[in-house]
Structure 1
Amino acid sequence: MGIKSFQGKRAEPEKIQSAPIMVKDYMSHSLITFGKDDPVINVIQALIKHKISGAPVVNERNELIGVISDGDCMKQISENRYYNIPIGDKRVGDFMEINVPTIDKNTNIFDCASLFYKHNCRRFPIIENGKLIGQISRKDILCAAMKLRAQNWHS
């Protein structure tokens, strides 16, 4: 006589229906920004003070014209060593990146994560009606993923 086991009808796994989590739910609205004529030394001081790695560069109409990062500042420091000047009086416009990918506030965070991977950048500015309205960072996406995990995957 063999051992038999009986299993009743299994319940269907519960499907979690939740609204898509969008960039607008996690983006930063209060941004530190710079103008193209700001001295790079001011950027370095702000990056250190606020513990950030970069910031958008805008014109007087709050339109995005570029991004300046800690890497851009490092380039300026490196170039000035040949003149024996640790940090010169160069302006943001001389070192900022102008080919900046932006993202729509209604992008799903999973799609945004893929875009971070594809573009290998640390932040995406968010534009609406031509104006800078916010920014999303890699860290913001990680926070969204952890919140989603806490809501859906109870340990």
Structure 2
Amino acid sequence: MKNWHVDDVMTTSVVTVPEEAPYRAVVDLLIRHRLSAVPVVDDFQRVTGVVSEADLLRKIEYAGDEKPRLFEGRRRRGERVKADARTAADLMSVPPVTVLKGTPIPAAARLMEREGVKRLPVIDDLGRLVGIVSRGDLLKVHLRPDDDIRRDVEEGILRIYLAENVLTVKATVADGLVTLKGHVDRWSTADIAKRLTRQIAGVVDVVDELEYDYDDSNVLGTGIAYGIA
């Protein structure tokens, strides 16, 4: 069963700007490529920051407003500095929100949500840019064919974790919805199958129609007790 990472869905041809790129060059680049943000890289292709449309708009927002206001907060002062910026190095937001190559897709999705960003530069262990992944890219896992998902369930879960019951359990998949049907020895076996199936890339949900002989839920409590998150 394949574990999907950002490497599997990222774009490797990334539009970037150098730190010394002039303000107008960055504006032109975003408009020409229809982007809302662009990574800033140094001479070694290491990501040093990100310039977004919001960063660029500070020059318009504070146009003609030369004097800072009394008791102005730190965020407003930072925005005012960007209004006077002339290069990408002065405009960019730092530190950049990036993700390491090999990061699982769910972890990348949680990082995007937590940081409130729409895309993540993907870097290697040395901080060098190797790709970029967007929210739309992460959703590509849900375009996987149903047959591929079913094969993952059968080979990666049923034959490994339900080896003794593999002949009595059947998995069907329709539009990413997995139905597990059949007979197993105990509740915990059915629960493990359901939990692991839900973690397969492209699975929308799991319908549990498994029957079991012995209910050991009171003994084990939850899946955490036997190592399934």
TM-score (norm: length of structure 2) = 0.53
What is the RMSD of the two structures over their aligned residues, measured on CA atoms?
A: 2.2
Runs of 5+ consecutive residues of structure 1 not aligned to the other structure = 1-17
Residue in 2 that maps onto 1:130: 127
Structure richer in strand, relative to its length = 2
Residue in 1 that maps onto 2:25: 42
Runs of 4+ in structure 1 over 4 Å off: none
Runs of 5+ consecutive residues of structure 2 not aligned to the other structure = 67-82, 150-172, 176-229
Structure 2 matches for 1:29-108, cutoff 5 A? 29-82=12-65, 90-108=86-104
Amino acid at match of 1:41: R
Is the radius of gyration larger for structure 1 or structure 2?
A: 2
Cα displacement (A) at 1:143: 2.4
Q: Determine which of 165, 170, 174 is the counterpart of 1:154.
A: 174
Structure richer in helix, relative to its length = 2
How many residue pairs get matched? Answer: 134
Cα displacement (A) at 1:22: 0.8
Cα displacement (A) at 1:89: 7.4
Question: For 2:32, what is the secondary structure of its paired residue?
Answer: helix
Cα displacement (A) at 1:149: 7.0
Amino acid at match of 1:111: A
Tell me how far apart the structure 1 counterparts of residues 18 and 63 of structure 2 sit (CA, whole Å). 21
Amino acid at match of 2:139: L
Tell me how far apart the structure 2 counterparts of residues 79 and 137 of structure 1 sit (CA, whole Å). 30
User: Which of the pair has the greater relative contact order for Cα pairs under 8 Å at 6+ separation?
Assistant: 1
Moved more, 50-59 or 134-143: 134-143
Question: For 2:17, what is the secondary structure of its paired residue?
Answer: coil
CA contact (8 A) 1:29 1:133 kept: yes
Cα displacement (A) at 1:97: 0.5
Determine whether 1:139 maps to 2:136.
Answer: yes
